[in-house]
């Protein structure tokens, strides 16, 4: 039911805290999804983080009544790409993961990211559930994204139950 789903979402938030580095940013834009910003990581390292999250969720959050699975999309930062473009590309990768049987990590193709360089609005503005340490420091997803500098290594993970 609804209460069980809420417990799983809270547990997944705790799992993100356990698996991610202190400098990473996790947010819940709504529903059964989380966005994770990984500054300083390359695509393959981010894929490994997604795999660790996926495996840990299944191992630690599943019960006798329900198996918890994650579908994860990875989008690496490219020069000129906006945060919104990365988020959209990672979201498309999540849909590919779901269409390919769920419970897997998919990496966005470069063409998916380059095609979204001119978003109408910044997706970061719709992400309000930043982690407490980041909120206390006045960070936003867009501010952290801009801190890495143009062409800096960074990756967005889109995680869906």
Q: Which residues are catalytic?
A: 32
Give the C-alpha separation, 38 to 21, whole Å: 8
């Amino acid at each position: 039911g609804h209460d069980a789903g809420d417990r799983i979402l809270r547990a997944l938030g705790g799992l993100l805290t356990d698996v991610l580095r202190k400098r990473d940013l996790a947010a819940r834009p709504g529903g059964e999804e989380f966005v994770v910003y990984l500054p300083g990581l390359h695509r393959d390292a981010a894929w490994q983080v997604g795999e660790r999250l996926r495996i840990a969720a299944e191992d630690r959050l599943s019960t006798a009544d329900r198996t918890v699975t994650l579908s994860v999309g990875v989008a690496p930062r490219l020069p000129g790409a906006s945060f919104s473009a990365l988020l959209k590309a990672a979201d498309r990768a999540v849909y590919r993961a779901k269409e390919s049987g769920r419970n897997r990590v998919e990496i966005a193709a470069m063409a998916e990211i380059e095609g979204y360089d001119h978003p109408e609005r910044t997706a970061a503005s719709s992400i309000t559930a930043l982690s407490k340490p980041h909120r206390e420091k006045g960070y936003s997803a867009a501010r952290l994204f801009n801190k890495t500098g143009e062409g800096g290594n960074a990756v967005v993970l889109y995680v869906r139950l």
